[in-house]
Amino acid sequence: MSEQCEHLKDRCAELERQLRESEKKSLYYQKIAQQTGDVRLRETEMLSRLVEKHKRTEEDLRKANKELSDKHIQLIQTAKLASLGELSAGVAHELNQPLMVIRSVSQIMLRKFEKLSSEQIREQLTNIERNTKRMMNIINHLRTFSRQTPSERTAVDLSRIIEDAFLMIGEQMRLRNIHVEKIFEPNLSACYGNSNQLEQVFLNMIANAKDAIIEKMTYTNDFTGRLEIITRTSPDYQNVIEILFKDNGIGISQKYRNKLFDPFFTTKEVGKGTGLGLSISYGIIKDHHGSIDVMETSSDGTTFRIMLPFKNGKIQK
Ligand SMILES: Nc1ncnc2c1ncn2[C@@H]1O[C@H](COP(=O)(O)OP(=O)(O)OP(=O)(O)O)[C@@H](O)[C@H]1O
Ligand SMILES: [Mg+2]
């Protein structure tokens, strides 16, 4: 699919070149017609053919652009579904936890029903209600997330989106004893974006950090995995929000640094990673007029930085 996108991008560029060319020619003929006052020249077949061709090329370009954006949406969706496959084990754990609470509370109530005061019954039922609500939240969220992403944008709260991502991946982090610290700037400005796509990016950043930490765990004793997620107003750029993902995993080898964002680049074993995560994330963030880069990496871990502009507009450097 990403090859098809590349092909379509080339086609759009070629059509744009042809349009510029025909615009130049048409201007040239018009100029000559004006200079020579030759009315016939203005109506020459050549000129009308050019206008026709120009119109056709414009139409082709419009179609190719539409096809490109459809393919792009499909590509994002495919990668999202692949990541959902991987996440499903974690989501099952996430759902299992409240389910266990509900089960044990119900068992206690059944066993001791006569002995419980109405206050105690109310307390246990509240507990059940709270846990069913938690399960509903996860299921509803999963439904919204897996839907084909509509491309509309709204003012979004990035910290909220990160919290939503943890509805699906939180349990996997807990199971591995990875400490997650979220340092969110209070009253951070909203950014104008697509929450579903941004969540897909954040999920990949968290999953990558988790994998890098797990890999380090395999050969380091007494090691506690840590992931820090920081949202803040950029200290360096105007009207920009930064999101930092700081892990203490294995780090990224120098030889891979400029391949990370290539489609299908992965160091993970077959079946574990498709290598699309960062390349899709790069596309989504670029589409949001932002940027994504490795801020630092060493054997102590890696920090990825995502920058997004406040509401509309480009990043002002
Ligand atoms: N936080 C990180 N620490 C160390 N290496 C990383 C980190 N993030 C990404 N990488 C490296 O970049 C590669 C590409 O990441 P990317 O997210 O694109 O694909 P993937 O995680 O391998 O597979 P997928 O995301 O499709 O499941 C990874 O295989 C890994 O080698
Ligand atoms: Mg990944």
Query: In this structure, is residue 317 part of a structural domain?
Result: no
Ligand 1 pocket test: which of 2, 266, 274 has the largest number of ligand atoms within 8 Å of its C-beta? 266
Query: In this structure, is residue 314 part of a structural domain?
Result: no
Looking at the structure of the chain, the number of domains it has is: 3
Distances (CA, A) of 118 to 102, 131, 140, 191: 18, 20, 32, 48
In this structure, the answer to whether residues 205 and 225 fall within a common structural domain is yes
In this structure, the answer to whether residues 195 and 211 fall within a common structural domain is yes
In this structure, the answer to whether residues 60 and 109 fall within a common structural domain is no
> Would the CB of 292 count as within 6 Å of ligand 1?
no
∠ CA 54-55-58 to the nearest 5 degrees? 85
In this structure, the answer to whether residues 128 and 262 fall within a common structural domain is no
**pLDDT (0 to 100) of residue 171:** 83
**pLDDT (0 to 100) of residue 1:** 58
Ligand 1 atom 13 nearest Cα: 266
In this structure, the answer to whether residues 166 and 269 fall within a common structural domain is yes
CA of 208 relative to ligand 2 center, distance in Å: 5
CA of 295 relative to ligand 2 center, distance in Å: 17
Query: In this structure, is residue 131 part of a structural domain?
Result: yes
pLDDT in 10s for each residue of the chain, 317 residues:
556 667 777 777 887 887 788 777 777 777 777 777 666 655 566 667 777 877 888 888 888 888 888 887 788 887 777 777 777 777 787 788 889 989 999 998 899 888 889 899 999 999 999 999 988 888 888 887 777 666 788 899 999 999 999 988 888 899 899 999 999 999 898 898 999 899 999 999 999 999 999 999 998 888 999 999 999 999 999 899 999 999 999 999 999 999 999 888 999 987 777 788 898 899 899 989 999 999 999 999 999 999 999 875 555 54
In this structure, the answer to whether residues 166 and 272 fall within a common structural domain is yes
The bound ligand whose nearest atom lies closest to the alpha carbon of 264 is 1
Of 99, 127, 146, which residue is a domain's last?
Answer: 146
The bound ligand whose nearest atom lies closest to the alpha carbon of 269 is 1
- Note down the domain range covering 73: 2-80
Residue 274 alpha carbon, nearest atom of ligand 1: 26
CA of 50 relative to ligand 2 center, distance in Å: 49
Of 119, 146, 173, which residue is a domain's last?
Answer: 146
Query: In this structure, is residue 167 part of a structural domain?
Result: yes
Per-residue b/e over 80-103, b at no fewer than 16 CB within 10 Å? beebbebbeebbeebbebbeebbe
We report the CATH number of the domain holding residue 250 as: 3.30.565.10
Query: In this structure, is residue 129 part of a structural domain?
Result: yes
In this structure, the answer to whether residues 110 and 23 fall within a common structural domain is no
Query: In this structure, is residue 259 part of a structural domain?
Result: yes
CA of 253 relative to ligand 1 center, distance in Å: 12
In this structure, the answer to whether residues 213 and 195 fall within a common structural domain is yes
CA of 305 relative to ligand 2 center, distance in Å: 15
Assigned token pair, 187 = 């009253």
In this structure, the answer to whether residues 70 and 90 fall within a common structural domain is no
CA of 304 relative to ligand 1 center, distance in Å: 11
Ligand 1 atom 1 nearest Cα: 209
Of 57, 80, 103, which residue is a domain's last?
Answer: 80
Phi/psi region, residue 109 (left: phi>0; alpha: psi -120 to 50; beta: rest), is alpha
> Would the CB of 252 count as within 6 Å of ligand 1?
yes
Query: In this structure, is residue 262 part of a structural domain?
Result: yes
Centre a 10 Å sphere on the Cβ of residue 183 and count the other Cβ atoms it contains.
Answer: 12
In this structure, the answer to whether residues 169 and 289 fall within a common structural domain is yes
Assigned token pair, 109 = 């109530």
In this structure, the answer to whether residues 19 and 139 fall within a common structural domain is no
> Would the CB of 275 count as within 6 Å of ligand 1?
yes
Query: In this structure, is residue 315 part of a structural domain?
Result: no
In this structure, the answer to whether residues 72 and 102 fall within a common structural domain is no
